[in-house]
Amino acid sequence: MPTAEAADPVPMDENDLRLLIGPASLTAQELAATYPAGVPIRLAAFVAQKKGLEQIEDAIRDFRFNATHVGESSSRQIHVLVIGETGRPDRWQLNGYSRPTTPRLSRIAEVVSFTDTVSAWAWTRMSVPVILTRKSPQDSRAFFQEKSLIAAFREAGFKTYWLSTQSPLGPHDSSIALHAREADYSRFLNPTDYRGAGVHDGVLLGPLSDILAQNEPRQLVVLHTLGSHFNYADRYPAGFDKFRPSQTGERAPSLHDSSQKEAMNNSYDNSIYYTDWLLSEIIERLRSTDSRATLLYVADHGENLFDGACTKSGHGHSTEFDFRVASMWWNSPQYGRARPDSIALVRERRDAALSTSHIFHTMLDAADIHYPGQDLSQSVLSANWTRRTRPVQGGYDFDASARDPVCLSLTRAPQRS
């Protein structure tokens, strides 16, 4: 299995985008090459997914934000959004966890870790569109009838990139692929999906370096990672097996085997330790560009890990552990000098009650992109930011709902107006 450290930078070859699912780019032959086992079944499922994706893509083809870049244009600007996977904030040393899981980020002065961010959904396919678009967290449809922040950046003259270690197509992926396809360039680097060991997220660094080396004046890069998705031990190389006993080397452990609680938790923490390394490597690459650069990281949902006396594991149980997500901000010193007031506000809001709905608005504000009807009350960089209610999956108000004492499951409470 390749490790992040051993992975070669992947060349930027448009013809090599085997898994790019743009029109006419995914042939049956290519699918067969990608999935040597079970091709007929998978082919039928993929054709159905591809058709659904093309239908929604047609429906929003002419959608425009009419976005423009209004900032000073002589300096280079780079904005990176890292979408994490299954990331719990309480497992970050930066947020007070007793274990040294984020030693590298803890040493970087410009890092701000947000301690109170909530995702409305504990399912990737539903949570990621809320991060990328203006989709309401209460909208339970698979697809949203608008494009994402990627399209807005493109309209405003940014070169846009999507790099992923997740899958390009499938029941769990198509609502995200819809937006990946808005980018000028998209690449899926994992030959398998979350069910397999596959590659580690570190494979994203080579292509990221290649993008940064292109020296374009304005760039947006979205990195969609596998983060801490079960099997946790598949998410980090051997050198990151810090907390033991872990599930490293164990064949097909079960997510629901509570006798594995200790090893499972150790492997989960190791995956956070690796995410710390990945994010710090991205930051060092951005720092070396000498540009006005920002990085915003947010996980798609949390995870249950047999917490305390609770017997729940995995995600999708409507517990507090499902909805709380890790999130952090970094900016280059050059960016800090250009927008000192905004950075002061970000620091002030490290413990503010945030939801992932703010990401769309904050990313555009961070890049000095404006569009008619822009809502700065949802940007954490803005003096106009306003606290909102946080509705989550199942019709709960995250802040107003009661919790059962064992698993912190949300129990129904009247929605606040």
Q: Which residues bind Zn ion (CB under 5 A)?
A: 85, 124, 300
Cβ closer to Zn ion: 126 or 279? Answer: 126
CB of 301 to Zn ion, least distance (A): 5
Cβ closer to Zn ion: 85 or 234? 85
- Report the residue number, 158 or 398, with the smaller CB distance to Zn ion: 398
CB of 359 closer than 8 Å to CB of 131: yes
Nearer to Zn ion, 93 or 124 (CB): 124
Amino acid at 229: H
Q: How far is CA 145 from CA 92, 138, 400, in A?
A: 35, 14, 30
What sign has the CA pseudo-torsion 193, 195, 198, 199? positive
CB atoms within 10 A of CB 57: 17
Query: CB of 347: closest distance to Zn ion in angstroms?
Result: 28
**Least Cβ distance, residue 6 to Zn ion (angstroms):** 26
> How many helices (H) and strands (E) are present in the chain, helices listed first?
12, 16
What span, in angstroms and rounded, lies between the C-alpha atoms of 341 and 87? 29
Give the residue with the Cβ less far from Zn ion, 124 or 164: 124
**By C-beta, is 206 or 227 nearer to Zn ion?**
227
Q: Strand pairing of 313-314 and 304-305?
A: antiparallel
Nearer to Zn ion, 359 or 364 (CB): 359
Residue nearest to Zn ion (CB): 124
Whose structure tokens read 């997500």?
A: 325
d(CA 81, CA 203): 16
- Angle ∠(15,19,24) on CA atoms, nearest 5: 70
Count other Cβ atoms within 10 Å, centred on residue 142: 14
CB of 190 to Zn ion, least distance (A): 14
CB of 212 to Zn ion, least distance (A): 27
In the complex, the smallest distance separating the C-beta of residue 172 from Zn ion, rounded to whole angstroms, is 8
Residues 46, 31 contacting (CB under 8 angstroms):
yes
Axis crossing angle, helix 124-132 with helix 358-366, rounded to the nearest 10: 40
Q: Smallest gap, in angstroms, from Cβ of residue 222 to Zn ion? A: 15
